[in-house]
Structure 1
Amino acid sequence: MKDANMTETLTFTDPRLAELDGFHVQLNVSNERADIILARPPYNVISMGARDQLRLVFEALDADDRVRIIVISGEGEHFSSGGNIKGFLEASPEHVSHLAWNIAAPSRCTKPVIAANRGYTFGVGFELSLACDFRIVSETCRYALPEQKLGQIPGSGGSARLQKIVGVTRTKDIVMRSKRIPGQQALDWGIATECVPDGDLEQAVTDLVTELREFSPMAQRTAKKLLNDTDDALLSTAIEMEGLNYSRLRQSEDFREGVEAFHAKRKPAFTGR
């Protein structure tokens, strides 16, 4: 159903998504925005089943032409305190082997994905956020990978992604000490994209959505894939891949529109072609 803001609760044809486990999805067609909202108060614990469903939802939204930008957030004071601890003991080895693939869904998604983090953003909540393209945090945000306290290590890409961002020394400090990183420190260390007062988080995310929608969808998809693919490439390989993608985009209608709009001193009307 739709509300006054023209936001509707999204349902899916896939029977595996007939009943979402601890989260819901909203669509605002006029803003080309989809929101995945973790909703298992008070801490928005992410169940094992929800991990499978989150992957499927990202794949469905990636294929939905009405959606340009995806935002993932949590209801209430916290993004997520992490996973269902008991669920790890109950899950089969095969299921556990899929955890990292499921949580990497935001990274594989061709569209920009924004994580809106406040309060506890622990364990899989942190790992899910690290797989997103942008992390907008409130000053109340606390990032942590607390698995050492359970005699375990992060299992969904957390330590690997974090090391790419902050280096091995800081990653050891976070992982091996189960250390909590405040929002401002996360910004200073390059983990967060932006840190804002708690009451400004939603507006900061909305502003970023508005900004991203002004760019060419094709150029954004290309930039995201290129940056992901070259993250661990040699510099010479990365430069070559950048050049190949640049040449491909030169043939696009969006590039022509961008150049013509620049010379005409008007706002470009990109179509994604």
Structure 2
Amino acid sequence: MTGYEFVDHRLSKLDGFQVEIDPAHERADIILNRPPFNIVSMPQRDQLRLAFETLEHDQRVRVIVVRAIGEHFSSGGNIAGFMEATPETVSKLAWNIASPARCSKPVIVANRGYCFGVGFELSLACDFRIASDTAQFALPEQKLGQIPGSGGSARLQKMIGITRTKDIVMRSRRIPARQALEWGIITECVADKDLEAATDKLVDELRTFAPLAQRTAKKLLNDTEDSTLTIAIELEGHCYSRLRQSDDFKEGVEAFDAKRPPKFVGR
């Protein structure tokens, strides 16, 4: 894509995906590139973690997009790799795939076609899921005599409840995009031809907000997902108080009073 740059030498030799940066739009793209099904290898999982950790510290990047080449986001992992991997490697699967959630920057995933297994689990770890109307979501591990191992069933249960999660996990059901939207699994469902445009639009929208406030909101929401209401409100108050001292909040108030667009700097 024109206007994109590679990140740095640590991400120059990747297994099944690539990372590109568009400094003009403060955007980084993590692009699955093993068509037609973008099967995720074992080494690729650890490299995905490295990619998010690298982009975390890249000052050119405000928003990260995860997308794929071809008509399918990912049909899942390399099945043979599970039998070859050591127990230590397997024990890190969920940690690696949770990298989008740990990253302080907003992460958008663009899904089309198959979004199965680890492809679905990676998507669930992102903040915003925009799906083409061709997308299908599934955790098919029961057909292999297994269960999801990278956070899929746990994240789904938090999102949609135990009844619907059992329906997906225990029956290896495929959920079409429109149903995923109705159930609250995805953020937005668009026509296949509009997937890229919808993703670009959300990137541009997120860039208008204060970086520090966005990072704070993401961490607060993640950290309080399992907490009681009392603790969540207490932590929200502390975060609000901290942001009250920020330069961006001062700029936001001044811009509001002056009826002009704010110029946030992230501090």
TM-score by length of 2: 0.99
d(CA) in 2 for partners of 1:52, 1:251: 37
Give per-residue Cα distances to partners, 1:125-150, cap 9 Å, x unaligned: 00000000000001000000000000
Q: Where do residues 63-82 of structure 1 align in structure 2 (5 Å cutoff)?
A: 63-82=57-76
How many correspondences in the alignment?
Answer: 267
Q: What is the deviation of 1:236? A: 0.2
| Structure 1 partner of 2:207 | 213
Tell me what 1:165 maps to: 159
Describe the SS at the equivalent of 2:161.
helix
Structure 1 residue corresponding to 2:235, chosen from 241, 251, 254: 241
- 2:27 equivalent to 1:12: no
> Considering only aligned residues, what root-mean-square deviation do their CA atoms show, in Å?
0.8
Task: State the one-letter code of the partner of 1:159.
Answer: S
Look up the match of 1:266: 260
CA distance in structure 2 between the aligned counterparts of 1:184 and 1:267, rounded to whole angstroms: 35
Gaps of 5+ in 2: none
Question: Using the alignment, how far apart are the partners of 2:3 and 2:227 within structure 1?
Answer: 43
Query: Which amino acid in the other structure matches residue 228 of structure 2?
Result: L
Structure 1 gap segments, 5+ residues each:
none
Aligned to 2:168: 174
- Report the CA distance between 1:18 and its aligned residue: 4.3
In the alignment, what sits opposite 2:29?
A: 35
Q: What is the SS of the residue equivalent to 2:134?
A: coil
Any idea what the Cα deviations from partners look like across 1:210-266, whole Å, max 9, x if unmatched? Answer: 000000000000000000000010000000000000000000000000000001000
Give the aligned residue type for 2:25: N
Residue 180 (structure 2) pairs with residue 186 (structure 1): yes
Instruction: State the partner residue of 1:138.
Output: 132
CA deviations 1:25-73 (Å, max 9, x no partner) are: 1110000000000000100000000000000000000110000000001
The 3 A distance-change label for structure 1 pair 11 and 253 is closer
Corresponding position of 1:224: 218
Identical aligned pairs, as a percentage?
70
Distance 1:140 1:6 in 2: 28
Change (3 A) 1:11 1:252: closer
Q: Partners in 2 of 1:127 and 1:237 — Cα distance?
A: 28
SS in 2 for 1:27: strand
How many Å separate the matches in 1 of 2:136 and 2:209? 31
Residues 7 and 21 in structure 2, CA contact (< 8 A), matched pair in contact too: no
Give, in whole Å, the separation in 2 of the partners of 1:81 and 1:238.
37
Q: Is the 8 A contact 2:17 2:34 kept in 1?
A: yes
Cα shift at 1:12: 2.9
Helix, strand or coil for the counterpart of 1:214?
A: coil
The residue number in structure 2 matching 1:129 is 123
Separation in 2, partners of 1:66, 1:117: 25
Letter in 1 for 2:177: G
Question: CA separation in 2, counterparts of 1:167 and 1:150?
Answer: 24
For 2:83, the equivalent position in structure 1 comes to 89
Give the letter aligned to residue 237 of structure 1.
I
